[in-house]
Every structure is written in structure tokens, then in C-alpha cells.
Amino acid sequence: MTIAYWITASLLALVYLASGGMKVVRDKESLVASGQTWAKDVNPSVPKLVGLLEVLGAVAVIAAPLTGIAVVLAPVAAIGLVLVQIVAIGIHVRLGETNRLVVNVILLALAIAVAVLGFLALPL
């Protein structure tokens, strides 16, 4: 199960480092232009905050078990990423962007898997 954790956590972390990093470094207008239409009608700090949460979650699912420090943070961070995806799915449904839900559902399933595997496979 440990191998399964590292594979799923690595995939999840890569996606969230890229996605969250993009939200942190880009301005709101360029995010909207790149297809993140949800950012159009929100305060400019909201995408930055979401990006920061995504990056912190990605770092936690890898760094905590890798260093052995506060390992329980890894599955807890994965639960946080589950919540991020639940909110994202709700926003996409509200905006009528159902064509984007496939990616969100895959990320939701991956985050759930990382949380479950983290609680089962890691020495908490």
C-alpha cells in the first residue's frame, strides 16, 4: 500500500503544484484568459488564496511522509484537496461548465485515494 500511496500522492502533488502555482503567479485577467472563467467575478485575492491552498496541500502530501515529521498532515492535506474539488465541482455546475467536470471528478477520486491510503499505509 505504501507504493500505491506514493504513486497517487505524486500524481496529485504534480497536478496541484502546477495548477496552484499558476494561480499564485498569474493575475486574475490572465487566469480568465486561460480558461479559468470562475475567477472573472471574484476578488483578485481569491485565486491567489486557492492557489496557495493547492500548493500547500501538494507539498504536505509529499513532504510530511518524506521527512517523517507530522506524517498525519499528509492524509489531512489530501482531505483538504478533496474539499477544494468539491467546491470546484459546485462552481463549475453553477456556471454551467459541465464539460470540465471530468477533470474535477478524477482529481476528487485521486485526492480521496491519497487520503485513504495515507491513513492506511503511512506510519502515523
Domain that holds residue 92: 2-121
pLDDT in tens, the chain (124 residues): 899 999 999 999 999 999 999 999 999 999 999 989 999 989 999 999 999 999 999 999 999 999 999 999 999 999 999 999 999 999 999 999 999 899 999 999 999 999 999 999 989 7
Instruction: Provide the number of structural domains found in the chain.
Output: 1
Burial class (CB in 10 A: 0-12, 13-18, 19+), 89: middle
Query: Residue 37 gets which letter from DSSP?
Result: G
